[in-house]
Amino acid sequence: MEKQSLQNERDLPPGTWATPQDILVILAHPDDPEFFCGGTLARWAAAGHRIAYCLLTCGDKGTQDRSLSSEALCALRQKEQRAAAAVLGVQRVRFLNHPDGYLEPTLQLRKEVTRFIRQEKPDVLVTCDPTTLYIGGDRLNHPDHRAAGQVVLDAVFPAARDYLYFPELLNEEHLEPHAVREVWVSGTQTPDVVMDVTDTWQVKLRALYEHASQIGDRQAFTERMMARRTPDSTPEKPRFGEKFRRIVFNL
């Protein structure tokens, strides 16, 4: 993109681009994209942007149902994730299938993520905040979320951008370096962008309903999600937002 085009993009509101963008979402588990930023992704897909997912784990431990094996749960959650992505308008879903709960930001995983970034060549990348430990006063952030955010950010900069990192990706796999233009960090306690997703909140909910193994009673779940309206809105006229830390690189 030429300098004038880049300047024109920067003059637009965050999350609005003059041309279709390739957007890559890399998060830890099936259902993370829908929970963290499903309304925003639905909004972007409706605007004509191309969205792909990469889920680092299989989600093979997230159940209280003792009749399910890890293998059966993995297969179920992959099916649910593909269905949820289709509701939002996501074009591709890939699973790296690391074990749920054991994710670590190792160099090997950084290489895997770097490979995927170079393959997909996204303009915009969405991940989560590795510094978020506490969520409100009653929850801890999942360790996989923190590990995923760390490894993805480390892959974006500098590994995906600079050719001497993991040189076998270039020399053996012929994957050219790629510089991501924007990173959107979800699940952050220090947001600088709030996307209004009131118009796509119901689409987000329909996508989340596809994760039946995770949400429990649908009516109770819907009530909890509708209670997430902005504090300055009303139950009769709710508004909803999704928060991000946005990083725009000077390319």
CA distances from 247 to 140, 158, 178, 191 (A): 25, 14, 16, 11
Residue 14 within a domain: no
Residue 13 within a domain: no
Residue 30 within a domain: yes
How many C-beta neighbours within 10 Å does residue 136 have?
Answer: 5
pLDDT on residue 5: 56
d(C-alpha 104, C-alpha 34), whole Å: 22
Residue 2: pLDDT band (50, 70, 90) is low
Residue 137 within a domain: yes
95 within 8 A of 58, measured Cβ to Cβ: yes
The per-residue pLDDT of the chain, averaged, comes to 95
Residue 202 within a domain: yes
26-36 pLDDT, tens digit per residue, is: 999 999 999 99
Instruction: Return the ∠ at Cα 121 (arms to 152 and 174), rounded to 5°.
Output: 100
78-100 pLDDT, tens digit per residue, is: 999 999 999 999 999 999 999 99
CATH number at residue 175: 3.40.50.10320
Residue range of the domain that includes 134: 22-248
Residue 82 within a domain: yes
Using left for φ > 0, alpha for ψ between -120 and 50, and beta otherwise, residue 216 falls in left
Provide, rounded to the nearest whole percent, the portion of the chain with pLDDT above 90: 92
Indicate the number of domains in the chain: 1
Structure tokens at 27: 């998060």
Residue 251: pLDDT band (50, 70, 90) is low
Look at residue 136 and tell me whether its pLDDT is greater than 70. Answer: yes
